[in-house]
Structure 1
């Protein structure tokens, strides 16, 4: 998996209308508080380094791993992965077995997805261009939501013992599987600035829990023109005061790279089946698929009771 430095990230990471988006989410935030009152202090305080570090001190010891379980990822040591995660926030080198990758990719091609997180925009990935004409909309993404659980290979990945072992060594013994999703990122010639602003094409950090870990797997070949993921190494361990004392999680690329260092931003490309794991509190972003669509899988772990609406419509494991 190659990791060339990103070029012209500012052009990809334009932001706009951020305050209006916060206002639009207020009803969702209120629902989250009613469902799970513990969500509010996390949402307000987990973005600050003193409170995050204090919460890390509450992590439980790592339980002994079940020696009878074998992983599809071979002999990777969870302890070694956790060490690298603590240092840089990201670890490369996970590779799906070919048959697993092929089965999930086949599921992604054959199973209807929902465009732009909207369930009324339903289509199969191969019909993307026709779907944009039919719905009269720019469609940048297509999520499978709960349908991912129909794919036995995807379920096997989320249940692989190595993933939980890594999560426990990094997050603490209370780490638990939270959610799994698969989705497409589509190239389109009709995207407006507003479309790109609403998508994840700007540097941001995730704030769904006090401590989180996310595994990502490319299910299609991803080069510079297929929407590679970008991560800013080390940004999970330090945070500009400006980025702590704001409700915004997304920030302009120039601002992010200027503080955390452009040399720490890595663009992750790779063949179908290649994967990586990251602490999503570090700044990251997806990039626009320019020429070919990208199919991707994510498996997330956390330490708290999840709020269903904090995620993207995929099934939340409770």
Structure 2
């Protein structure tokens, strides 16, 4: 049974601490400088898109899209894009998407058979079923495994990213400029050897995405996800409401207790569901992954934005030299 529960994850406080944040920012400076050289328009976005006034001003430039007209057949059935966009404007999230099982099975098979890269590092390459051995071989905790560009070789994944409903929803929400930015699949692994520093470097803390002025991300669970399997957590309404302290800082991640206190514990939605369960969110709203405790979680993301994507690297990856 698919469900969303409005409960505070039990270990939010312990996994959302942000020690070492400035060291991580310093490590990202080469990426920032390369982003700027590749696209000078990146800098004003990076500095200003975190503030509500500038974001709202940019939303005013969105090219209007007329009410939903019939689109080509979608694997997700008869869902009206304009109604999904309305819900996204209200709460920042919509949870009514289900992957057809043959599509889900094919992507999961591909992700199991195709080597991934641990902790965003291409030198840590292994298959998901080799995770425990890979931690021993590399002598470190491995919390995630991304497939990067390899997912483009999976026909089922390409079919999802090209489904007409996804672009229709993106256009109704982001404006007529909406375009596909990224498609990725990744594993989140349970591990006994992760330090607090490892967890802090991962996505296991409340944060918001700042890759574009306007973004929309579709997520699909490719494995069963209960409260012990690393469910995604989203703060409803936080895409439209932002504490001043969270605007006037270069940090995108903030302590759980701080986020929950300001935006309300009742706004924290923990998303659980069977394999194939999908949802779409405005990633400017605060969200986080949680730790997979016993079984690995496999997830897919299809992201849309309004600016041209980087051609030299994939989401979360350091600069490719």
TM range, normalised to the smaller chain?
over 0.9
After TM superposition, give the deviation of residue 64 of structure 1 in Å: 7.7
Once residues 95 and 70 of structure 2 are traced to their aligned partners in structure 1, the CA distance between those partners, rounded to angstroms, is 24
Tell me which residue corresponds to 1:264. 267
The residue number in structure 2 matching 1:18 is 21
CA RMSD of aligned residues (A): 1.4
| Cα distance, 1:66–1:145 mapped onto 2, change above 3 Å | farther
Task: Give the TM-score, by structure 1 length.
Answer: 0.96
Shift of 1:7: 2.9
- Specify the alignment match of 2:4 in structure 1: 3
TM-aligned CA deviation for residue 68 of structure 1? 5.6
Aligned to 1:192: 195
Is the contact between residue 60 and residue 173 of structure 1 (CA under 8 Å) also seen in structure 2?
Answer: yes
1:93 aligns with 2:71: no
Q: Structure 2 CA distance, aligned partners of 1:261 and 1:25?
A: 31
Query: Which blocks of at least 5 consecutive residues in structure 2 are unaligned?
Result: none
- Aligned partner of 1:155 in structure 2 is 158
Where do residues 120-199 of structure 1 align in structure 2 (5 Å cutoff)?
Answer: 120-199=123-202
**Do the aligned residues in 2 keep the contact of 1:63 with 1:173 (CA within 8 Å)?**
no
Counterpart contact for 1:97–1:273, Cα < 8 Å: yes
Q: Is the 8 A contact 1:146 1:313 kept in 2?
A: no
Report the Cα distance in structure 2 between the residues aligned to 1:28 and 1:174, rounded to whole angstroms. Answer: 26
Per-residue Cα deviation, 1:234-262 (whole angstroms, up to 9, x for no partner): 00001000000000000000000110001
Of stretches 84-93 and 12-21 in structure 1, the one that deviates more from structure 2 is: 12-21
Deviation at 1:63, TM superposition (A): 6.0
* Distance in 2 between residues matched to 1:85 and 1:125, nearest whole Å: 34
1:312 aligns with 2:298: no
Q: Does 1:219 align with 2:222?
A: yes
Report what 1:70 is aligned to.
Answer: 73
In the TM superposition, residue 69 of structure 1 has moved relative to its aligned partner by 1.1
CA deviations 1:64-84 (Å, max 9, x no partner) are 877461100000110110010
Report matched runs for 1:194-213 at 5 Å: 194-213=197-216
- The answer on whether the counterparts of 1:144 and 1:183 sit within 8 Å (CA) in structure 2 is yes
Over 3 Å counting, the alpha-carbon distance change for 1:293 and 1:300 in structure 2 is same
Aligned match of 2:290 = 287
CA distance in 2 between counterparts of 1:65 and 1:37 reads 35
Which digits, 9 at most, give the CA deviation of each residue in 1:13-37, with x for residues without a partner? 2221111111111121111111100
Does the 8 Å CA contact 2:92/2:282 hold for their aligned counterparts? yes
> Residues 206 and 280 of structure 1 are in contact (CA less than 8 Å); yes or no, is this contact kept in structure 2?
yes
Alpha-carbon offset, residue 310 of structure 1: 7.2
CA contact (8 A) 1:215 1:275 kept: yes
> What's the TM-score once normalised by structure 2's chain length?
0.95
How many residue pairs match? The answer is: 314
CA contact (8 A) 1:13 1:253 kept: yes
Unaligned 5+ segments in structure 1 are none
Q: What's the counterpart of residue 255 of structure 1?
A: 258
